Amino acid sequence: MRLLVDTGPLVALADRRDAHHAACTAWLHDFRGQMITTWAVLTEVSHLVPSVEAAVAILRWSGREGLEILPLGRDELIKATDWMERYADRPMDLADASLVVAAIATGITTIWTLDRSDFETYRLPRRKRFRLAEMT
C-alpha cells in the first residue's frame, strides 16, 4: 500500500501530549507500505511541533523510516498555487495543496490525515475523492 501523509499525524507522532499521539502511534505500528509526503508538509510539521528537539526527532525519523519526500519545484509550486486559489474559501494551505499535486502526479489518493473535513471536500481531476486512511 502507498499513501500520502499529511501534517497532523506527523505532529501527533512527534508530540506525546497531542490528543492523537496514541492513535497515530498505534496506526503506524500496524502499517505496512510506503508513505509519501512533501517538503511543504515537513516544513509545516517543523513549525507546529512543540520544540526544536521534537522537530529534529520527527525529521530524523522521516529520513530513517523511508518516508519518501516528493519535490516541490517551480512546476509543482505553480500547480499548488492554482489549487490554493481554487479552494481559497476553505482556505487551502500550501501543505494541503502540495499533497493534491502529489496525488495527481503519483495517482495515490489514499491519505493519512487528521484534517478529514478538508480532504473530504477537496476534489481531484474528474471529481475523484481522496480516500482517508482509517485509524481504528
Amino acid in the structure at residue 22: A
Residue 24 clears pLDDT 90, i.e. is over it: yes
What's the full length of the chain, in residues?
136
The CA-CA-CA angle for residues 129, 70, 128, to 5°, reads: 10
Quickly name the fold that domain 2-132 has.
Rossmann fold (3.40.50)
Determine the Cα angle at 116 with ends 115 and 119, to 5°.
Answer: 90
How do the domains of the chain map onto residue ranges? 2-132
Give the number of other CB atoms < 10 A from CB of residue 11.
24
Give the pLDDT of residue 111: 98
Distance CA 109, CA 47 (A): 26
Residue 136's pLDDT is what?
64
- Per DSSP, the residues of 63-80 read HHTT-EEE---HHHHHHH
- Is 70 exceeded by the pLDDT of residue 7? yes
Q: Which of 35-39, 62-66, 122-126 has the lowest mean pLDDT?
A: 62-66
Average pLDDT over residues 103-115: 97
Who contacts 19 (Cβ-Cβ below 8 Å, separation ≥6)? 12
Is the pTM higher than 0.85? The answer reads yes
Residue 61 CB burial class (10 angstroms; 0-12, 13-18, ≥19) = middle
